Amino acid sequence: MNTLKEVLGEENSQKLMKIDNPELHQFIAKYVELCNPDKVFVCTDSPEDILYVRQEALRAGEEKELALEGHTVHFDGYHDQARDKGNTKFLLPSGVNLGSDINAMNRAEGLNEIHDILKDIMRGHQLFVRFFCLGPLNSDFSIPAVQLTDSGYVAHSEDLLYRQGYEEFVRLGEAARFLKFVHSAGELDDRMTSKNIDKRRVYIDLEDETVYSVNTQYGGNTIGLKKLAMRPAINRASREGWLTEHMFIMGVHGPNSRITYFTGAFPSLCGKTSTSMIKGESIVGDDIAYLRKKDGVIRAVNPEKGIFGIIQGVNPKDDQIIWGALHSTGEVIFSNVLVMEEKRVHWIGKDDEPPQKGFNYSGEWQLGKQDDDGNEISTSHPNARFTLDMKRLENVDPALDNPEGIVVGGIIYGGRDSDTKVPVAESFDWVHGVVTMGAALESETTAATLGKEGVRKINPMSNLDFLSIPLGNYIADHLKFGTGLKNPPQIFSVNYFIKDSEGNFLNDKTDKAVWLKWMELRSHKEVGAIKTPTGLIPRYEDLKKLFRAVLNKEYSEAAYIKQFTLRVAENLATIERVTEFYKTKVSDTPQAVFTVLEEQRQRLIEVREKQGDYVSPLKFS
């Protein structure tokens, strides 16, 4: 350790040596020697150390101060604005295959390549050694993590997003089973953005639980504890019998001050954030959840404590809570928005008219500016972000940092479906819910952002992009997870996008508040339900009361019939697509998937023979 002590100096060496973990010391020493930074800073949980990181991000020009106290702005490179899916790869030993959908390469080759790129990459830079905890401190759920980065912006972002974990490393000592992250922005241009994008790499070594990220600054590629950490966490969870899920956690408030906690998985643009942030309810997490079985119930924690959210479209009418946090003093990092002369920011979909000029991810900007292909450059990038600590939100739930987690009262799966699924339904049991609502989760693309409109994509549990185990194993893990529970939480599906034959939405945006209240009551068996071939649906009289109580709105029987009519042909088509997907695209699909889908198909055929392709919910009551 002499070389490391020489580079660290006395003060930083003492900080590191307080952690009794030789594996950690060796890991840090290896990458200090390889990356060759000019300076190393070991950050503890002290306010002085955390402030130093923020000040260094400003000093280096990676962030700039804005008008409101605590607000800063960061710009990524023009061609470094999103997750690099093509160059995000698993490093797998010879003979290991995670499935055709997983981007992978030979582990030895990948490590050789990434270590060649990392050689001396931090010369002229400062290396920040950061310690975090994925999940509440001193909790059975949580995973310690160490981040090495030469970006003050990345280190500062993680302070807002994750619980500081230095003292947790000290407490655990040699017992810490930690995830490891190595990041370098690489050579920087005169705007302090990554220059060598052609050598951008994000490699995930599951064997050593290490993530490498180089020549990039965009948060989705560099803030390793976020979606990058999901891959090794999913792999670890599968080995140990728990789940890492792409889910929000929220508290839905019921009668007599009761709070029932739900987790929810929704693909992009399907209402995940708007559901988790709905006014009147409370939020534990907006993105990721760790689920464990404890004493016969499912408990969950949010491994994060902050939000790295898309800012496009955030406005005071639809996003009152986020809007308030973004317009009050306190730490917020804006990225890739437009900065105006008075050091205030603008983004696509904000409440006011766009300004005529400013500075954004393209440099100096004026209205009508075009890129090299003649396309107009918008005020902010469509993937522009905000980063903040959830404690700044007025609806944050007190259970956020509970080391025991919250008891899961229900699990929600939601997708964008114009013609098939009803607005809300409950599964018959755990296996039926896992298969028909989770494993069969399907969503339609939208023309505005994802190309051709209406293309259906199967995205099991909304977690397909982040799996580090074969999909068949992942579904099997979910099926097994429900065994041995005293009272498994109900599984629900929601669909905010059902339309009539003329293409008109049958839901209002605000209706989701009613569906949540119904699910909360159902989780305690306090209202009845109607059995249909595809699941249990609400009774009209219960929804009528809830619409009046929750939204002060009259709810007609005609609206109920339109929304909850069983669309038999469309449901049969869904089963056919999902069955084909699991037969042809997934190896080792559990037999239960095919059995449950076939049982549902037979129920639908029986009802069609008696009542046709479109069956009013009143026919089942």
When pLDDT is cut at 50, 70 and 90, the band that residue 1 belongs to is: very low
pTM of the shown model:
0.94
pLDDT digits (tens, 9 = 90+) for 369-416: 999 889 999 999 988 999 999 999 999 999 999 999 999 999 999 999
CA distance 92 to 342: 50
pLDDT over 90 percentage in the chain? 82
Query: Domain-by-domain residue ranges, the chain?
Result: 2-61+83-241, 244-304+400-619, 308-392
Catalytic residues, by residue number, are 270
pLDDT tens for each residue of 181-215: 999 999 999 888 999 999 999 999 999 999 999 99
Contact 179, 229 (CB under 8 A): yes
- Residue 530 CB contacts under 8 Å (≥ 6 apart), including other chains: 536, 537, 538, 539, 617, 620, 621
Contact between 145 and 179 under an 8 Å Cβ cutoff? The reply is yes
DSSP 300-345: EE-S-SEEEEE-TT--TTT-HHHHHHHTSSS-EEEES-EE-TTS-E
- Whole-number pLDDT of residue 89: 92
**Rg, Å, the chain Cα set:** 25
Return the DSSP state at 418: S
Q: With 70 as the cut, is the pLDDT of residue 620 above it?
A: yes
For tokens 């020549």, name the residue: 215
**What's the pLDDT score for residue 35?**
96
Per-residue pLDDT band for 577 (boundaries 50, 70, 90) equals very high
Torsion angles phi and psi, residue 92, rounded to 5: -115, 140
pLDDT at residue number 97: 82
Structure tokens at 164: 């500081």
Looking at residue 581, its pLDDT comes to 96
What's the confidence (pLDDT) of residue 274? 85
Given a cut of 50, is residue 447 above it in pLDDT?
A: no
Q: Which amino acid is at 130?
A: R
Q: Which residues pair with 128 in a beta bridge?
A: 41, 149
pLDDT of residue 452: 59
pLDDT band at residue 80, thresholds of 50, 70 and 90?
Answer: confident
CATH class in words for 2-61+83-241: alpha beta
Query: For domain 244-304+400-619, is the CATH number 3.30.70.100?
Result: no
What percent of the chain is predicted at pLDDT more than 70?
98
DSSP 422: -
Q: Each residue of 15-47: pLDDT tens digit?
A: 999 999 999 999 999 999 999 999 999 999 999
**What's the start-to-end Cα distance of the chain, in Å?**
74
Q: What is the pLDDT of residue 2?
A: 54
Q: Which residue has the tokens 């009519």?
A: 565
Residue 168 belongs to what H/E stretch?
A: helix 166-172
Mean pLDDT of 358-374: 92
Strands 104-106 and 88-92: parallel
Per CATH, which fold does 308-392 belong to? Answer: Phosphoenolpyruvate Carboxykinase; domain 2 (2.170.8)
Summarize pLDDT for 137-177 with one digit per residue, the tens: 999 999 999 999 999 999 999 999 999 999 999 999 999 99
Give the containing element (helix H, strand E) for 72: strand 71-74
